[in-house]
Amino acid sequence: MSTKTATVRHTGFGLRLSVRTGTGHTITLDDATGNAGPRPSELLVAALGGCAALDVLPILAKKRQEVTGYEVRVTAQQRDDPYPHVMTRIDVLHVVEGPELEVEAVRRAIELSATRYCTATAMLASGV
pLDDT of residue 82: 83
How much is the pTM? Answer: 0.90
DSSP, residue by residue, 22-74: TTS-EEEE--TTT-SS--HHHHHHHHHHHHHHHHHHHHHHHTT---SEEEEEE
Burial class (CB in 10 A: 0-12, 13-18, 19+), 48: buried
pLDDT of residue 14: 96
User: How does pLDDT run across 41-66, given as a tens digit for each residue?
Assistant: 999 999 999 999 999 999 999 999 99
Q: Mean pLDDT of successive 10-residue segments in the chain (128 residues)?
A: 96 97 98 96 96 98 98 95 88 97 98 96 79
